[in-house]
Amino acid sequence: MVNLRVDWRASVALVGTVMKWLAVAMVFPLALAAFYGEGLVTFLAAMTVAVAAGWSLERLDDDPDLGAREGFLMVGLTWLAVSVVGALPYVIAGQGTIAHPVNALFESMSGFTTTGATVMGDIGFDTHSRALMMWRQQTQWLGGMGIVVLAVAILPELSVGGAQLMDAEAPGPGIQKLTPRIAETARALWKAYLGITALEVVLLIGLNAVGVAPNVTVYQAVAHGFTTMATGGFSPAARSIEYFSAAVQWLIVPFMVAAGTNFALFWHALNGEPEAFGEDTEFRFYVGVLAVFTGLTAVLLFTGGTLQPTRVGPLSGNLEQSVRHAVFQVVSLVTTTGYASMDFAQWGRPAQYVLFVALFVGGSAGSTGGAVKIVRWLVILKSLKRELFTTVHPEAVRPVRLGGRALDERAIRGIYAFTLLYLVIFFAATTLVYVDAARVGLDLIALDAMSAVAATLGNVGPGFGIVGPMENYRPFPNSTKLFMVFLMWIGRLEILPVLVLLTPAYWQS
């Protein structure tokens, strides 16, 4: 019998607390169900299960004390647990394809991890209730800034060790403590997040009021506020953002850019230092990357050589449309939001490959975006430049600098390790998905399989071909779907905190 060195009871008990609180989040869809006169049973039942399960798990440890190891376990399990609880309404409602438990879990995990990949057959209010569709949107918003960050912000028992928890969850290497108390930092981040979301909702409603956004109801405004700032990508509209006017598409772009920005910068800006944006190396690089990708895509669309004109509207030669769709799609995929302003899977191959590369870029550290993250690419580029220099001058001592600060060599090694691991998992997972698809006779082309893995591991959402923005993940066999649930899970937590749970060294002394 191996002697376990991890106090798993403490971790599980805290996961129980978080599950219990998730019931509170369901009050919103419950109220909507009452408002629209839809059945209340779905959410009441789900809430009961959440409270009961959470309460019984809490009994495992009356006074949970989290160390570093317990922290990893708690964070990892929390995301799994909320996804299971979040899937309950889909199963209980029993409407459409997502009533199947595997599909429900996929949809829920996709929601909380802000992936935005869907297995929903027909998206719309004919099959699904408005309350259920809003719950789907809301899971993304809850997951965006981070369930654990939210838990640290509101649960006093997590104030000690909260930094470790947030570190295990927050996108990007390391966290920035904005205030001396970690719970205050967590609250500051959530306030900025809430504020910008509210601003977007108000502006969307405003566009409707001035008559340039006919399809934007209050419901749609709230629903898209939830999934833009979370870089989620779910939409209650079957055609995603294509359903809305050009004005709406233009408005959403800056909010997606904001969602992929380090939220600490907003906090600094609100504290009277707006210059923080210009001084931040990562932000400058982020804007530069967006500009280059957009420029390239816009040229490809405008010249039209890459379009299959029979299937896509006439973009070529139309400057506004070329630029709008290029910037929207680039920003959407780089920030890992995953909205579509049109079916980009119908674009010509060159433009699609530009977008495919964009799937790996990711948002900034401390943003809600997924994938590898801008800051890691920046550090890798800078350290490669250093390598070239030291090859010629072997004695040169060159720290890699980020915004004037020299980076620790261990941090650089960590970034190399993460990125390599990310790519290894990407290739291995692509192979698995491919093989599993072949097993059930599903015809996949390489780009489709690769994009499906990149889109789930990077928490992006849509890919190309059969997983294009107007398609869904339903055709995959259940085994592949469960595997993708795993990919979304480790992708959201940046792989290492989850993988470490699978090592014997973690569990033993």
Partner 1 sequence: MRVIIVGAGEVGSSIAASLADAHEVVVVDTDPERVDTLTYSLDVLAIEGDGTSLATLREAGIGDADMIIASTDDDETNLVTCGTAKTVDDPFTIARVKNVDYLETWQHAADRRAFGVDFMVCTNLLTAEDIVRVVGLPAARDVDPFAGGTVQMAEFAVGDGSPVADQTVREADRFDSLTFAALLRNGDVEIARGESRIRAGDKVVVIGSPESVQAFAREVAPAETPSGSEDLVIIGGSEIGYHTARELEERGLHPRLIERDPDRARELAEKLPDTVVMESDATDAEFLAREHVDEADAVVTTLESDEKNLLVSVLAKRLGADRTVAVVETAEYVDLFETVGVDVAVNPREVTAEEITRFTRELHTEKVALIEDDKAEVLEIEVDGDSVLIDRPIREAVADLPDGFVIGAITREGRFIVPRGDTVIEPGDHVVAFAERDALEAISDRL
User: Rule CB under 8 A: is residue 404 a binding residue for partner 1?
Assistant: yes
Q: CB under 8 Å to 60, separation ≥6 — which residues? A: 9, 12, 13, 16
Of 100, 96, 103, the C-alpha closest to 482 is 103
Structure tokens that stand for 278 in this block: 């210009």
Nearer to partner 1 (CB atom), residue 311 or residue 401: 401
Stretch that binds partner 1, among 318-326, 356-364, 395-403, 439-447 (CB under 8 A): 395-403
Long-range contacts of 409-413 (CB under 8 A, 24+ apart): 411/173, 411/174, 411/379, 412/379, 412/383
- Interaction of residue 63 with partner 1, rule CB under 8 A: no
Nearby residues of 207 by Cβ (< 8 Å), 6 or more positions away: 213, 216, 245, 247, 248, 251
Q: What is d(CA 261, CA 34) in angstroms, rounded to the nearest whole number?
A: 37
Is the four-CA dihedral 18, 80, 111, 39 of positive or negative sign? negative
Contacting range for partner 1; rule: CB under 8 A; set: 53-61, 108-116, 205-213, 401-409: 401-409
Of 180, 210, 388, 393, which one interacts with partner 1 (CB under 8 A)? 393
Interface residue with partner 1, options 391, 397, 504, 509 (CB under 8 A): 397
Least separation in angstroms between residue 398's CB and partner 1 is 6
Candidates 454, 482, 248, 440; CA nearest to 370 is 454
- Residues forming beta bridges with residue 401, ordered by sequence position: 406
Closest CB to partner 1 among residues 62, 395: 395
Instruction: Decide: is 381 part of the binding site for partner 1 (CB under 8 A).
Output: no
Q: Minimum CB separation from partner 1 for residue 342, in Å?
A: 45
Q: Does 406 bind partner 1 (CB under 8 A)?
A: yes
Output 41 or 406, the one with its CB closest to partner 1. 406
Closest distance of CB 373 from partner 1, Å: 24
Only one of the segments 196-204, 242-250, 310-318, 393-401 lies at the binding site for partner 1 (rule: CB under 8 A); that segment is: 393-401
Give the SS3 label for residue 401: strand
Long-range contacts, 209-213 (Cβ 8 Å, 24+): 212/245, 212/247, 212/248, 213/244, 213/245, 213/247, 213/248
Whichever of 181 and 405 has its CB closer to partner 1, that residue is 405
What is the closest distance, in whole angstroms, from the C-beta atom of residue 218 to partner 1 in the complex? 49
Within 10 Å of residue 301's Cβ, how many Cβ atoms?
28
Q: Is 398 in the site for partner 1 (CB under 8 A)?
A: yes
Query: Of residues 395, 410, 441, 504, which one binds partner 1 by CB under 8 A?
Result: 395
Q: Which is nearer to partner 1, 384 or 445 (CB)?
A: 384
Interacting residues with partner 1 (CB under 8 A): 393, 395-399, 401, 404, 406
